[in-house]
Amino acid sequence: MSSTRCAACKQLRRKYPSDCIFLPYFPPNNSQRFSYVHRIYGASNVGKMLQQVEEHQRGDVADSLYYEAYYRIKILYMVVLELFLFYMKKFVMYNANWLKYKLKLTYSIKMDFILSIPHFTS
Ligand SMILES: [Zn+2]
């Protein structure tokens, strides 16, 4: 019985309803497919969308929802990663410039001190 539960019923820990609308489109061996769709649209909305169309169109609807959810999640991750790298680079450059400035300052102060010693100037 547990092998006939679809990915939705497994993830949502539902008892297997005999007329589960998700079963043909979200098979138990591909739980990632349902996971993406659930994260973007919510399981109940997906169920409603599948019920609103003819039975022969449901496969295409499920595929479309999956592809859109998949790419929305992937793009979100890519944008977050890009932003992270952008600010990381800024942070590193700022610290490098600050370090350079600090070293320059320290070096020039030391040089001023060394040059102020009478032994070196005479
Ligand atoms: Zn199910």
What does the pLDDT look like over 43-98, one tens digit per residue? 999 999 999 999 999 999 999 999 999 999 999 999 999 999 999 999 998 988 88
Q: Rounded to the nearest whole angstrom, what is the distance from the C-alpha of residue 70 to the centroid of ligand 1? A: 20
Q: Rounded to the nearest whole angstrom, what is the distance from the C-alpha of residue 32 to the centroid of ligand 1? A: 14
- Indicate whether 108 pLDDT > 70: yes
- Indicate whether 120 pLDDT > 70: no
104 part of a folded domain = no
Specify burial of residue 33 (Cβ count, 10 A radius: 0-12, 13-18, 19+): buried
103 part of a folded domain = no
pLDDT tens digits, 4-14: 789 999 999 98
Q: Rounded to the nearest whole angstrom, what is the distance from the C-alpha of residue 68 to the centroid of ligand 1? A: 21
Structural domain for 72, as ranges? 2-92
pLDDT tens digits, 21-39: 999 999 999 999 999 999 9
56 part of a folded domain = yes
Separation in Å, CA 48 to CA 38, 58, 83: 13, 11, 36
> How many independent structural domains does the chain possess?
1
Closest CA to 3 of 28, 26, 22, 33: 28
